Amino acid sequence: MKILLVDDEEDIVEELSGFLHRRGHGVVAADGASAAIRALDRDGPFDVVLTDMRMPEGSGFDVVHACRDQPEPRPAMLVMSGHAAPDEISRIHAEGALHFFPKPLAPRELATVLAGIAAGRSNRPATERYLSNA
């Protein structure tokens, strides 16, 4: 799958990019919300967007909103954070994120979620696929 990875922490981007590449995924990295929004238009379409929640020049909410504006099939939206409050996690799901990962992100959990997305992409329309899992 083609994945847009968004995080302002370089070490997290390097670690997750390597993990995803080793599993055969294509990865485009963005260091913040603005760069992610540009990448959606410039480098898309993406199957998955994995974004941090809190970044200096924008948030995961900005990235999720930009994903919702993409043409069908929209990317599956995954959000991660080490500091999200319960109301933020509820809101991110309500706004269309498929899954929330607490940081540090567990690679095995990410692999499981991505396998489910890959299976769903081939079996169901995008709208049904993402809404039923949110």
The total number of structural domains in the chain stands at 1
CATH classification of the domain holding 95: 3.40.50.2300
Return per-residue pLDDT of the chain as tens, 134 residues.
999 999 999 999 999 999 999 999 999 999 999 999 999 999 999 999 999 999 988 999 999 999 999 999 999 999 999 988 899 999 999 999 999 999 999 999 999 999 999 998 755 444 443 333 43
Q: Which residues touch 21 (CB under 8 Å, ≥6 apart)?
A: 27
Q: For position 120, what pLDDT does the model report?
A: 84
| DSSP code at position 75 | P
Is residue 32 a contact partner of residue 13, using CB atoms and an 8 Å limit? no
pTM of the complete model beyond 0.75: yes
Q: For position 129, what pLDDT does the model report?
A: 38
Domain that includes residue 77, residue range: 2-133
